[in-house]
């Protein structure tokens, strides 16, 4: 134990090595540049070795520093993993679940009361981080993601349901458009778009599959996210190509209606993902079973 370095210096060392900058390391650690510099100096004094070559612009690891970084990073990763296992002990009934915000609003939340009623002992916490999930760093246990199976096989991945792109409108508007040819509907109406990366291919993919020309830019009414676009469509502002799983409730209540029976099935699907060790937690598997059962009901009665 006498050979252990000053442990408080190691976060500074790892962060400087990652950013190759004392200033950026200080920003990430929320400390001063001087504090980081003192930690590195203390560590180098303890080791009696230089870990960084300093220049006027940045810092680079020495050969000794690089070797030390690789082993220290691996060691701290083991400590982090061991700590996470204890914090996420099966004795704890807390479950952190991340889901796409539009799917949470239109599918999960209207049904989640059933799960709470059946399992009041489980402390389910729902989040909607709009990025790739790192289960360890984000403190997420399970996530519902949209993607290709090959992209997410680093974790346990179970298909919940497939996707389907459809053309919809507010029901009264849809009735008025039924007599028109598909290309006339596209050319003569405002077409609602969602301007984000996840939805940028919706209109092009559906139009290509339907063998119709995509709407002119002057016909497009853009929104920043799916929830805004769905609200605009429900208010009769135009027609929308959207994902059928997101609007099951609106289709069942006839708030929205399909204008065309043409559906495009993307390669992407909705998956429940989680680290392998989560499968050993009973409360997590109870939620998983409930999700699968609800997913199986999704397209019934439509």
pLDDT in tens, 254-274: 999 999 999 999 988 899 999
Measured in whole angstroms, how far is the alpha carbon of residue 61 from the centre of its chain?
Answer: 34
Same domain, 16 and 30: yes
Same domain, 109 and 254: no
Same domain, 135 and 272: yes
Boundary residue ending a domain (87, 107, 141) = 87
Asked if the structure places residue 70 within a domain, the reply is: yes
Same domain, 156 and 289: yes
Asked if the structure places residue 32 within a domain, the reply is: yes
- With vertex at residue 216, the alpha carbon angle to CA 163 and CA 210, rounded to the nearest 5 degrees, is 40
Question: Taking the complete model, does pTM exceed 0.75, yes or no?
Answer: no
pLDDT tens, 121-137? 999 999 988 777 878 77
Structurally, the chain folds into a number of domains equal to: 3
Asked if the structure places residue 177 within a domain, the reply is: yes
Same domain, 102 and 221: no
Asked if the structure places residue 263 within a domain, the reply is: no
The whole-number pLDDT of residue 88 equals 59
Same domain, 138 and 169: no
The whole-number pLDDT of residue 55 equals 77
pLDDT tens string, the chain, 302 residues long: the values are 567 888 889 999 999 998 888 888 888 888 888 999 999 999 999 999 999 998 777 789 999 999 999 999 888 888 877 776 666 555 568 899 999 888 888 889 989 999 999 999 999 999 988 777 878 777 889 999 888 776 666 678 899 989 999 999 999 999 999 889 999 999 999 999 999 887 889 999 999 999 999 999 999 999 988 889 999 999 999 999 999 998 988 998 999 999 999 999 998 889 999 988 888 889 999 999 999 999 988 776 55
Same domain, 182 and 200: yes
Asked if the structure places residue 284 within a domain, the reply is: yes
Asked if the structure places residue 301 within a domain, the reply is: no
Range of the domain at 58: 7-87
Phi, psi of 18 (to 5 degrees): -70, -45
Same domain, 72 and 207: no
Asked if the structure places residue 58 within a domain, the reply is: yes
Same domain, 125 and 204: no
Q: Both tokens of residue 48?
A: 């009696």
**In residues, how long is the chain?**
302
Closest CA to 164 of 262, 265, 256: 265
The whole-number pLDDT of residue 154 equals 64
Boundary residue ending a domain (87, 103, 131) = 87
Q: Please give the Cα distance from 93 to 265 (Å, whole number).
A: 37
Instruction: Give the Å distances, CA to CA, from 205 to 25, 216, 246.
Output: 44, 15, 17
Q: What is the CATH number of the domain that holds 25?
A: 1.10.10.10
Q: What is the CATH number of the domain that holds 211?
A: 3.40.190.10
Closest CA to 182 of 200, 171, 197, 166: 166
Same domain, 118 and 140: yes
């Amino acid at each position: 134990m006498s050979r252990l370095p000053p442990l408080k210096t190691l976060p500074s060392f790892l962060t400087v090595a990652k950013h190759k900058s004392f200033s950026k390391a200080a920003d990430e650690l929320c400390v001063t540049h001087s504090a980081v510099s003192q930690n590195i100096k203390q560590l180098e004094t303890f080791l009696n070795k230089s870990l960084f070559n300093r220049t006027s612009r940045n810092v680079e690891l020495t050969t000794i520093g690089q070797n030390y970084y690789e082993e220290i990073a691996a060691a701290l990763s083991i400590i982090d993993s061991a700590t996470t296992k204890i914090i996420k002990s099966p004795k704890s009934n807390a479950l952190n679940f991340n889901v796409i915000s539009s799917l949470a609003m239109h599918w999960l939340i209207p049904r989640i009361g059933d799960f709470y009623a059946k399992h009041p002992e489980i402390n389910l916490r729902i989040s909607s981080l709009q990025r790739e999930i790192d289960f360890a760093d984000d403190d997420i246990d399970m996530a519902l993601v949209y993607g290709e199976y090959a992209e997410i096989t680093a974790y346990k991945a179970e298909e919940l349901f497939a996707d389907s792109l459809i053309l919809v409108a507010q029901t009264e508007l849809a009735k008025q458009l039924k007599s028109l040819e598909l290309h006339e509907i596209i050319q003569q109406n405002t077409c609602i778009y969602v301007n984000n990366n996840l939805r940028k291919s919706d209109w092009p993919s559906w139009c290509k599959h339907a063998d119709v020309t995509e709407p002119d830019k002057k016909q497009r009414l853009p929104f920043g996210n799916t929830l805004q676009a769905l609200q605009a469509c429900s208010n009769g502002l135009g027609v929308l190509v959207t994902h059928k799983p997101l609007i099951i409730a609106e289709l069942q209540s006839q708030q929205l209606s399909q204008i065309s029976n043409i559906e495009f099935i993307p390669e992407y699907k909705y998956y429940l993902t989680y680290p392998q060790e989560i499968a050993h937690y009973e409360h997590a598997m109870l939620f998983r079973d409930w999700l699968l059962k609800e997913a199986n009901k999704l397209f019934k009665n439509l």
